[in-house]
Amino acid sequence: MIINSLLLIVALLGGMQSTNTETYHHCDVVYQQSEATVYVTRTGTRFHRGRCQYVKNRPTRSMTRTKAVDYGYIACKVCKP
pTM for the predicted model, two decimal places: 0.58
- With beta carbons less than 8 A apart as the criterion, state whether 62 and 34 touch: no
CA dihedral 70, 71, 76, 77 (to 10 degrees): 60
Summarised one tens digit per residue, pLDDT across range 4-22 is 554 445 444 444 433 333 3
Round to whole Å and give the CA distance between 54 and 39.
Answer: 10
Summarised one tens digit per residue, pLDDT across range 34-62 is 689 999 999 999 999 999 999 999 999 99
